[in-house]
A and B are shown apart, each in its own frame.
Chain A
Amino acid sequence: MSEHSNESTRPSGFGDRNWVAEASDVCRRAARGDLEARVLNIDDASHENRDMPELLHAINHLLDMTDAFVREATASLEFAGDGKFFRRVLLAGMLGSFARAAGSINAATAQMEQEKKALDHAHSQRLELETDFDKLREVVRALADATGHIDLMSKTMVKLASQTSLLSINASIEAARVGDLGRGFGVVASEVKKLATQAASASSEIQGRVRELTGAARNTSETIEEIWTVIRDQGGAQGAKRAA
């Protein structure tokens, strides 16, 4: 490769360039936001004013620093807008107001990162809460089922007690009919009747308590479902905020 030769890159007519006009044009382009503008081939030309190259390099330097800052700030903010906070404005080479502005952007990015972390934490806590609460719903539902089952059983017990009572009355009648021989059996029948009465009152007491329990379980279940709806709605809102 002939990359070390320095012919062929000189612009034609470089000797009679109007440096002031070129520099003004570059400045005007830059002021319009065209940060690509630079004065080129500064050292290739003969300058009437010996300070001119210095001025032209200074213009390029000003543009380089502005260009670098704009590129850095843009990149950092674009990344942050995308939820990626590691991309900070590089402070190296930034001086004065450039450095201060870069510092402000980085501080804002750090703040955004912290808020995002807090939001993520709240979200994971809410997910845990949702899981725990779902388990609680299961437990309450099982409880309601169980009380319903006991209610059914206590009804059976009341029925059994009344049938037993009826049976003991029949037994007493039969015992009376056979006279003295049936006396012993009559005593047994009346004892059975007492037991049946006790069983009936115990069963109806159980039934009453179970009704209370069933009612409480139903109320708990309804309240839990209401809270569940709120939790789910909040989850949707939080998810939307995180995505934003």
Chain B
Amino acid sequence: MVPETRAQKMLHLTGHERTFDPGELIVSKTDTKGRITYANQVFQRVAGYTEGELLGKAHSIVRHPDMPRCVFKYLWDTLGAGREVFAYVLNRAKCGDHYWVFAHVTPTFDQRNHIISYHSSRRVPCRRALSAVIPIYQSLLGVEKRFGNPQDQWKASLPVLVETLKQSGMSYDEFIFSITDQGSITDQHSGAAA
């Protein structure tokens, strides 16, 4: 219990939410160990880090303590299996602000089909999706809080996530797409551009 709580307490949070333009993408690339090899300007601006501060760091540099660990466990397992993964993720900016993203993470393969890196494009999430996701994350966090070390946490919460999906009768991907408005953001954006 001790190390995690201490680490969480060390993270300063302002409670202030940041956002970015619906026409923008936060883009980053990591090596197979999750170390950042590329971070675009939008990432730098929203997360509040310079490029130099991000390159070579673990992607968990933007991890927010209110994100359930099992979501990342699922994310990395799926990527490791060579499949794309979508996730609604709460991130923490350097100053302690937070921002929600709809992340699409994909493995990059070499000619021989080996995974050589990961790529993440993050979009502004629609509110409808967040209102569906937040209660689920809260219940997962509730389970995780009963345990001290990260491994025990996701081991306890992952079955809860699986059960939640089972009750919805959908696969993880289908669930994500069912709560995601497709096109409304672009309509809004192209409307503004016209």
CA distance A84 to B83 in the complex (A): 14
CB pair A57–B38 under 8 Å, yes or no, is no
Inter-subunit contact B177/A88 (CB<8 Å) = yes
**B138 in the interface (beta carbon within 8 A):** no
- Is B139 part of the binding interface, using a Cβ–Cβ cutoff of 8 Å? no
Evaluate contact between B183 and A91: CB separation under 8 angstroms. Answer: yes
Residue of chain A at shortest CB distance from B54: A9
Check if A38 sits within 8 Å of B52, measured CB to CB: no
Within 8 A of B (CB), among A32-71: 36, 38, 40-44, 57, 60-61, 64-65, 67-68, 71
Chain A residue numbers with a CB within 8 Å of B37 are 40
Task: Say which residue of B23, B38, B102, B121 sits within 8 Å of A38 (CB atoms).
Answer: B38
Contact, CB under 8 Å: A9 / B41: no
- What does the 1/0 interface line of B50-61 toward A look like (CB < 8 Å)? 111101111001
Is A176 close to B, CB under 8 A? no
- Smallest Cβ distance from B39 to chain A, in angstroms? 9
Interface check A123, CB cutoff 8 A: no
Q: Is the pair A68, B25 in contact by a Cβ cutoff of 8 Å?
A: yes
Report yes or no: B106 in contact with A94, Cβ–Cβ below 8 A: no
| Tally of contact residues, B, Cβ under 8 A | 43
A72 at the A/B interface (Cβ < 8 Å)? yes
Binding site of B, secondary structure by majority: helix, strand, loop or mixed?
mixed
Residue pair B182, A91 in contact (C-beta under 8 Å):
yes
- Are A41 and B106 touching (Cβ within 8 A)? no
Interface centre among B61, B177, B183 (most CB of A within 10 A): B183
Structural contact, B38 and A40, CB atoms closer than 8 A: yes
Which residue on B lies nearest to A89, using beta carbons?
B182
Q: Check if A3 is an interface residue, CB within 8 A of chain B.
A: yes
Residue of chain A at shortest CB distance from B21: A93
Q: A167 → chain B, closest Cβ, in Å?
A: 79
> Given A40-B55, A71-B106, A92-B186, are A87 and B173 also a contact pair (CB < 8 Å)?
yes
B residues adjacent to A (C-beta < 8 A):
22-25, 27, 29, 37-38, 40-41, 50-53, 55-58, 61, 84, 94, 102, 104, 106, 108, 116-117, 119, 121, 123-124, 173-174, 177-178, 180, 182-183, 185-186, 189-190, 193
Known contacts A9-B52, A67-B27, then 20 further A-B pairs from the complex at CB < 8 Å, ordered by chain A residue: A6-B50, A6-B53, A43-B51, A44-B52, A60-B41, A64-B25, A64-B40, A72-B104, A86-B174, A86-B178, A87-B177, A90-B182, A91-B185, A92-B22, A92-B102, A92-B182, A92-B186, A93-B185, A95-B23, A95-B190
Binding site for B on A (CB under 8 A): 3-6, 8-10, 36, 38, 40-44, 57, 60-61, 64-65, 67-68, 71-72, 75, 84, 86-88, 90-95, 99, 106
